[in-house]
Structure 1
Amino acid sequence: MTQNPFGAEGGFDMSALLAQAQQMKDDLAVAQEALANTAFEGTVAGGAVSASVNGHGELLGVQVKAGEFDGSNPDELSDLGDMIVAAYRDAKAKADATSEQSIGMITGGLSRGIPGMGGGSAPAGF
């Protein structure tokens, strides 16, 4: 994005602006693809339960450390369910933070509040 849409004499260069927009779009596509191929791990209870998600927040897997839970105890199974949710949220928070940072570097913070761009309170598109 080295072209200045405002010409040397203060005029406006629409082709330079369009070139910048296309470059930003291309950079965003590359960043989104990289996020989709990156796994983020969240853990709870000292590693007793961990979950992994990709950069889009899709659950890739859940791991439960052997010997940590008694499958016949209803209270422990309930706790296990809560820990799985907590591990997922931990992994998702890491993915979201990385996504916001990556996209923010490309857009210069312009993604906040734009639906599908992962910033602000708008729904994250990845």
Structure 2
Amino acid sequence: MDLMGMMKKAQAVQAKLQEAQEELGRLEVEGQAGGGMVSLTLNAKGELRGVRIDASLLTPADKEMLEDLIVAAFADGKAKADRAAAEKMQSLTAGLPLPPGMKLPF
């Protein structure tokens, strides 16, 4: 086993992981609920960046439904953000000989 070669690859992957983390902070996904009546923008790290609510939902009678739609839109956006982050990390570690089940970052 080439320990020095593995160390060099690990250092290269670490630098790429840092770049990927920065990229994930810039990559935005949109979660929707209620047929697009509630839309949330998140970055691929899952941080909420924006909210758009259709004006027709802004009535006291629709308060509970609106709250549920916001939660559903966030869940949709978070799932998309998680997929985007997982795809990015998988592409970075594709050539690194990691033991089964080991994931980066540690």
Give me the TM-score of the superposition, normalised by structure 2.
0.84
Residue type of the partner of 2:72?
A
Percent identical pairs in the alignment equals: 34
Secondary structure class of the residue paired with 1:46: coil
Shift in Å, 1:105: 1.3
Answer 1 or 2: which has greater helix percent. Answer: 2
In the alignment, the residues of structure 2 paired with residue 54 and residue 112 of structure 1 have an alpha-carbon distance, to the nearest angstrom, of 26
Q: Which residue of 1 aligns with 2:36?
A: 47
Return 5+ residue gaps in structure 1 as ranges: 1-11, 118-124
Residue type of the partner of 1:82?
D
Q: Which residue of 1 aligns with 2:50?
A: 61
Task: Considering Cα pairs closer than 8 Å and 6+ residues apart, tell me whether 1 or 2 has the greater RCO.
Answer: 2
In the alignment, the residues of structure 2 paired with residue 27 and residue 100 of structure 1 have an alpha-carbon distance, to the nearest angstrom, of 14
**In the alignment, is residue 19 of structure 1 matched against residue 8 of structure 2?**
yes
RMSD: 2.3
Return 5+ residue gaps in structure 2 as ranges: none
Say which one has the larger Rg.
Answer: 1
Q: Which residue of 1 aligns with 2:84?
A: 98
Q: Which residue of 2 aligns with 1:71?
A: 59
Residues 2-55 of structure 1 deviation map (CA, whole Å, 9 limit, x = unaligned): xxxxxxxxxx43322211000111111111110111111011112110011111
Residue correspondences, number: 103
Runs of 4+ in structure 1 off by over 6 angstroms are none
